[in-house]
Amino acid sequence: MYSNELVRGTLKTIILQLLGEKDKMYGYELSKLVRERTKDKIVLTEGALYPILHKLEKEKLVTTIQEVVGNRPRKYYMLTSNGKESAKEKRNELLEFVETLRSLMDPKPSLSCSF
Amino acid sequence: MYSNELVRGTLKTIILQLLGEKDKMYGYELSKLVRERTKDKIVLTEGALYPILHKLEKEKLVTTIQEVVGNRPRKYYMLTSNGKESAKEKRNELLEFVETLRSLMDPKPSLSCSF
DNA sequence: TACATATACCTAATGTTCTTATGTATAAGC
DNA sequence: GCTTATACATAAGAACATTAGGTATATGTA
């Protein structure tokens, strides 16, 4: 599992991206999906997950539908059209950022000249 | 420039990496180098930079030498052997993390079957 | 000469984000 | 009956970076 500080800041983008891949998803499902897709390397804890979802809802990037499945309440989250827009933007930003990081991590040997 | 939350958490790794590329570097130099190498897409502000450097020093990942250049004090930072070790580890972790992110951002279309 | 900009360091208050811990409740497996 | 899984939620606290402030020298320019 990656150190927390690394994951920090990427969770919102990850959630928006995953929500964009299905019609609707609920919190617990998102949490499991992230663990599954990253082989537990990224763990979306509940204390992080729910506040983010609530914030996205407040920002009107997602809407919700409550259902009861097998006697347990379930809250589905869906991207609004603004949310879809935002998901695309954040995805692009993340991919660009990742490229920038890779180029930074590509060691530039200090210029040396053998002449 | 990338949103702050994205950069958050990667700065320590970036600093260790850059320090590993030269014998010694001072804060202001690091700050300029990051801006230069990332074309201002990642900005290492002083309020972030100096606390990180001081923390690295406390953790004995770097040592310092103070010099006076042109009447201005300058504090050079150098990786210790622990620091070099840590720089490698953090670099690897970051590169792995970045790969995980990319695979997450690679949209998995919901399984549909045309039969 | 006065002023702005660049160099070079530093810290404190603040805000955001996430961790850790806790709480509630149902269902299923042993 | 106990543990684990499902499913939601919040609150205290830590960690990290932003913003804003402070000090001081050197350089370019109007």
Q: Give the separation between CA A72 and CA B8, rounded to whole angstroms.
A: 37
pLDDT at residue B75 in the model: 97
Q: Which fold has domain B4-89?
A: Arc Repressor Mutant, subunit A (1.10.10)
> Who among A3, A5, A10 is closest to B6 (CB)?
A10
Task: Give A108's pLDDT tier (boundaries 50, 70, 90).
Answer: low
DSSP β-bridge partners for residue B25: B77
Quick: pLDDT tens for B31-72: 999 999 999 999 999 999 999 999 999 999 999 999 999 888
A88 touches strand D (CB under 7 A): no
This model of the complex carries an ipTM of 0.88
Averaged pLDDT, B77-97 = 95
Q: Which residues are CB-contacts of B65 (< 8 A; sequence separation ≥ 6)?
A: B24, B75, B76, B78
pLDDT at residue B114 in the model: 43
Quick: pLDDT tens for A19-34: 999 999 999 999 999 9
Interchain contact B12–A (C-beta under 8 A): yes
Rg (CA), chain A: 18
pLDDT at B1 over 80: no
Question: A8 and B3: CB-CB below 8 Å?
Answer: no
**Chain B residues closer than 8 Å to A98 by CB:** 98, 101-102
Task: Give A1's pLDDT tier (boundaries 50, 70, 90).
Answer: confident
- What are the extents of the domains in chain B? 4-89
Q: Write the CATH number of the domain with boundaries A4-88.
A: 1.10.10.10
